[in-house]
Amino acid sequence: MSGSEHQFPKTFWREIELPTYEPLNEDLSVDVAVVGAGITGITAAYLLSKEGLKVAILEAGGVLNGTTGHTTAKLTAQHGMIYDEFIQHFGPEKARLYFESHMNAIQFVETMVKENGIDCDYSKEDAYIYATTEEYVDKIKTEWEAYKSLNIDGSLKDTIPFNIPAKAALLMRNQAQYHPLKFLKSLLEDAVNAGCSVYENTVATDIEDDDTEPKVVTKAGHRVTCKQVIIASHFPFYDKPGLYFARMHTDRSYAIGIKTDMDYPGGIYISADSPARSIRTTPYNGEKLLILGGENHKTGQGIDTLKHYEALQLFAKEAFGLKEYHYRWSAQDMVTLDKLPFIGKYSEGRENILIATGYKKWGMTTGILAGHLLTDYVMDRENPYMELYSPSRAFQADPDFKSVVTTNADVAKHLIKGKLEYTDKSTDDLQMGEGSVVMYNGKRAGAYKDENGKLYVVDTTCTHLGCECEWNRAEKSWDCPCHGSRYSYSGDVIEGPTKKALELLKEE
Ligand code: FES
């Protein structure tokens, strides 16, 4: 396969066969309703089912088809250059707790692989963060001091073994990589064997929580009555009055899977400076598939999205000698203002609604630790990481108040900018397979002409809070620059916070 621009993205991880489940078609009563069948929901459902609780997972689409199916799947506590910053903002104790909690998640995977014999291409790897500019060499040295003060097993290196002009690198030992869907499929099957029920194509739209027992309401009108709800739907489908959309921004990132002639030396790598680059391999038909990721940007903002894949291909060519281009995919992530995820009680006064979101692209360890933490909330057990990740943590706005202002000012800017935008393009100007903002009946609209010439025109006004969506050429979607809602070219919701489709003005 070549990387033709008209091909839709395809993730390597979803090549395996996954179980399928029927939608929910009746009311249900369980101990715990888990909304979302990604890494967090499945880990929590697995642990809670093993505790003997009656659990139901409600998934809006198919299992493991959200961000979990579109990752680079590194299992690491090396989440960029964070430890010096965390020590400055939160103190060494919390920085160390952060590190430990992610190392525990890696340990959980390793133990499960060994004890349950899960075949998921798990391998222990050294992780490296590298700098290609002098400015970041200094930052790497500062980060190394943070490692030493936190007792993180690592060392400082001069370079990395690729054709990349790295001037320094920081090693973190005992990290890992795996095939996330092979691993989570096994957990899901174990959960089901322990009594967990799973419903696909079941969209949760609301929670009725005026009673002691909350009820998750589905789009089809069914109710799941439970003692606890776990919102593991990536962007919370329920937002009253958490205002989670105003406390996070959304980022998109890209990955490609390629074959090269190079003899890969092992290890997982990430760049400290821009543009972001992530490097790892995975077994692939007796050979190795090199997975390169990066090119992060805020959703609905920045350059033509296809350019991000092209930049990764160029990087692959220069640094690794690209031989064959097999896969490409992208993901959307939530980033909180203080860079710590939100895991815990949804809000004060809503004790039986739990949430996990804001993983900042590090969902592989964060999802697993969230599954454990939420299980402890449900079981009413102490957990050393509760305060650190609590959505109502007292220390969260303190370190970076500026980013609160910037995030919301950015939203305001896009609210105004999109409305004033004028284009002289009309639907007649579109080529087959092309999408664009156009003028339609004198107003801004979004149009896409498919490969057969069928035209879809939508009102690009985001149904969440009214920003104007932009065309995403790589994924053929309408993306909102304000809080990251995404819609298909015909207006259907792909990602929240919105729950309502764009208005389809024309389809012919
Ligand atoms: Fe909030 Fe579009 S996602 S306005």
**Can you give the pTM of this predicted structure?**
0.86
Which of ligand 1's atoms lies nearest the C-alpha of 485? 3
Q: Could you tell me how far CA 111 lies from the centroid of its own chain?
A: 24
CA 37, chain centre distance (Å): 13
Q: Are residues 389 and 494 in the same domain?
A: no
* Domain membership of residue 344 as a residue range: 5-71+181-246+339-397
Ligand 1, atom 3, residue with closest C-alpha: 483
Q: What is the mean pLDDT of residues 458-477?
A: 90
Same domain, 242 and 377: yes
Torsion of CA 354, 371, 73, 94, to 10 degrees: 80
Pairing of strands 228-231, 350-357: parallel
pLDDT digits (tens, 9 = 90+) for 54-106: 999 999 999 998 888 888 999 999 999 999 999 999 999 999 999 999 999 99
Beta-carbon contacts of residue 36 (< 8 Å; ≥ 6 apart): 57, 58, 59, 60, 66, 231, 232, 233, 234
218 within domain boundaries: yes
What distance in Å separates the CA atoms of residue 249 and residue 407, rounded to the nearest whole number?
A: 7
Ligand 1, atom nearest to 462 Cα: 2
Q: Are residues 425 and 359 in the same domain?
A: no
With a 6 Å cutoff on the Cβ, whether 185 touches ligand 1 is no
Same domain flag for 430 and 502? yes
Taking the centre of ligand 1 as the mean of its atom positions, its distance from the CA of residue 170, in whole angstroms, is 38
Nearest CA owner, ligand 1 atom 1? 483
Residue 273 located in a structural domain: no
Q: Which of 364, 397, 430 is where one domain is finished?
A: 397
Cα 467 to ligand 1 centre (Å): 6
Residues 393 and 423 grouped into a single domain: no
| Residue 123: pLDDT over 80 | yes
Question: For ligand 1, what atom is nearest to the CA of residue 415?
Answer: 4
Each residue's pLDDT tens digit, 402-445: 455 555 556 655 555 555 566 778 888 899 999 999 988 888 89
- Tell me, what's the pLDDT at 327? 93
CA distance 169 to 172: 10
Pocket flag, ligand 1, residue 180 (CB < 6 Å): no
Say what the pLDDT of residue 408 is. 59
What are 313's two structure tokens?
A: 């291909």
User: Kind of pairing, strands 228-231 and 55-58?
Assistant: unpaired
388 and 431 assigned to the same domain: no
pLDDT at 8 over 80: no
Looking at the fold, whether 45 and 185 belong to one and the same domain comes out as yes
Query: 443 with 495, same domain?
Result: yes
Local confidence band at 400 (pLDDT 50, 70, 90 cut-offs): very low
pLDDT tens digits along 173-217: 999 999 999 999 999 999 999 999 999 999 999 999 877 899 999
Which one, of 437, 380, 388, 273, lies nearest residue 32 by Cα? 380
Band the pLDDT of 482: cuts 50, 70, 90: confident
Shared domain for 483 and 429, answered yes or no, is yes
CATH code for the domain in which residue 503 is found = 2.102.10.10
pLDDT(252) > 70 = yes
Average pLDDT in the chain? 90
What integer pLDDT is reported at residue 1 of this predicted model?
A: 36
Residue nearest to atom 4 of ligand 1 (CA): 465
Looking at the structure of the chain, the number of domains it has is 2
In tens, the pLDDT along 267-276 reads 999 999 988 9
Which element (helix H / strand E) includes 318?
A: helix 306-320
Mean pLDDT of 279-292: 94
408 C-alpha to ligand 1 centroid (Å): 12
Instruction: Say yes or no: 426 and 501 in one domain.
Output: yes
Residue 442 backbone class (left: φ over 0; alpha: ψ -120 to 50; beta: rest):
left
Within a domain: 156: no
Whether 233 and 382 share a structural domain = yes
Question: Which letter does DSSP use for residue 501 in this model?
Answer: P
**Whole-angstrom Cα distance, residue 103 to residue 87?**
18
Q: How confident is the model at residue 4 (pLDDT cuts 50, 70, 90)?
A: very low
Q: Nearest-CA neighbor of 97 among 328, 376, 331, 390? A: 390
Phi, psi of 266 (to 5 degrees): 95, 170
Cα angle 219, 208, 46 (rounded to 5 degrees) comes to: 75
Whether residue 500 is predicted with pLDDT greater than 70 in this model: the reply is: yes
Query: Is 274 contained in some domain?
Result: no
- Domain annotation covers residue 82: no
DSSP secondary structure string, 255-284?
A: EEEEEESS-----EEEESSSSPEEEEEEEE
**Pocket-testing residue among 417, 482, 493, 494, ligand 1, by greatest number of atoms within 8 A of Cβ:** 482
Percent of residues, the chain, with pLDDT higher than 70: 92
Ligand 1 site, residue 498, Cβ cutoff 6 A: yes
Atom of ligand 1 at shortest range from CA of 245: 1
pLDDT tens sequence across 230-249? 999 887 777 776 677 778 88
Percentage, residues of the chain above pLDDT 90: 68
Q: Which of 14-18, 210-214, 257-261 has the lowest mean pLDDT?
A: 210-214
Band of pLDDT at residue 399, cut at 50, 70 and 90: very low
What share of residues in the chain are helix, strand, coil (percent, to 5)?
30, 30, 40
Strand 197-199 to strand 55-58: parallel, antiparallel, or no bridges (unpaired)?
parallel
Q: State the closest ligand 1 atom to the C-alpha of 466, by its place in the atom list counted from 1.
A: 4
User: Mean per-residue pLDDT for 457-477?
Assistant: 90
Ligand 1 centroid from CA 468, angstroms: 8
Q: Comparing 194 with 7, which gets the higher pLDDT?
A: 194
CA of 307 to the centre of ligand 1 (A): 24
For range 364-378, the mean pLDDT: 98
Note whether 500 and 424 are same-domain residues: yes
Residue 35 falls inside a structural domain: yes
Half-sphere exposure of 344 (CA within 13 A, CB side): 19
What is the CATH classification number for the domain harbouring 197?
3.50.50.60
Residue 487 domain-assigned (yes or no)? yes
Instruction: Give the position, in ligand 1's atom list, of the atom nearest the Cα of 484.
Output: 3
From 397, 431, 447, the end of a domain falls on 397
Q: Is the CB of 462 under 6 A from ligand 1?
A: yes
Q: Compute the average pLDDT of residues 329-337.
A: 87
User: Could you tell me if residue 279 is inside a domain?
Assistant: no
Cis amide linkage into residue 283, ω under 30° from 0: no
